[in-house]
Amino acid sequence: MSTTPAAYDTLTVPEATLIQKELRAQLDLSPLSKPPQYIAGADISLNRFSEVIYAGLVLLRYSDLQPVACSLVQSITRFPYVPGYLAFREVPALVQALEQMPVRPDVIMLDGHGIAHPRRMGIAAHFGTLTQMATMGCAKKKLFGKYEEPGPAKGDYSPIMDKEETIGYALRSKNKVLPVFISPGNRMSLDDSLRIALHCCGNYRLPEPTRKAHEFVNLFRTGQLQSGYHEIGSGSLF
């Protein structure tokens, strides 16, 4: 009963650890039931030393990865950045951004880890169990686990291991760049997360959903986009 995002601001780290252990029991890593039609990228942006958080979801058509809509929300975050507890800082604003969307993405890709976390509760797993959405994590750095360097070619990957258990993958998303770290968050399998990540990789290190989300929240933070829900381009979604 202690999982209300509005109350995250005042939590202590030991209290946050308990919430993570509760949410872990709700993880669902069964395979995705149907091929996604829409995927959303989720990210946040901040001004240095500020408590104002700019959060956003960008919805992309899965087939061609073109952005079709975005949801932008401004909020306040007081929980500090503590490695292993990123969700308590960013998730409340991202939940608001999701609630503001009139459409449900089939999959959401978060900037950070899914189950590749000491308690299997990275931001993507946390956000996924909280919202009951299919989620996955794409991080730029390792948080937890061991991995061997993947091969040098785009698409090469190697497992991230905790003891004997695979908890994600280090994926070469582009030729001769540092790998990104992929793991499922909720309502999808390890294989699903890897397959989706591969599908979303283009000519940049970051997969399109994450890359676009980062771009949009930065435009939002710098005043070039307004908060709210916006459809992009011409086509209506319905």
Q: Is 64 annotated as a binding residue?
A: no
Q: Which is nearer to DNA, 34 or 176 (CB)?
A: 176
For the bound state, the minimum distance from the C-beta of residue 188 to DNA, rounded and expressed in Å, comes to: 16
In three-state form (DSSP H/G/I as H, E/B as E, the rest C), the secondary structure along 95-157 is: HHHHHCCCCCCCEEEEECCCCCCCCCCCHHHHHHHHHCCCEEEEECCCCCCECCCCCCCCCCE
111 marked as binding residue: yes
Dihedrals φ, ψ of 18, to 5°?
-65, -40
CB atoms within 10 A of CB 205: 16
Site string for DNA, 184-203 (x = CB under 7 A): --------------------
Sole window of 5-13, 196-204, 211-219, 227-235 interacting with DNA (rule: CB under 7 A): 211-219
How far is the C-alpha of 122 from the C-alpha of 186, rounded, in Å?
Answer: 10
In one-letter notation, the amino acid at residue 134 is: A
Q: How far is the CB of 16 from DNA (least distance, A)?
A: 9
Site for DNA in 101-160 (CB under 7 A): 111-113, 117, 121-124, 137, 139-143
Cα(99)–Cα(210) distance, integer angstroms: 19
Q: Which of residues 14-43 bind DNA (CB under 7 A)?
A: 43
Pairing of strands 228-231, 157-162: unpaired
Tell the smallest beta-carbon distance from residue 87 to DNA (Å): 6
Residue ranges of the binding site: 43, 111
Binding site for DNA (CB under 7 A): 43-48, 81, 83-87, 111-113, 117, 121-124, 137, 139-143, 176, 214, 217-218, 221
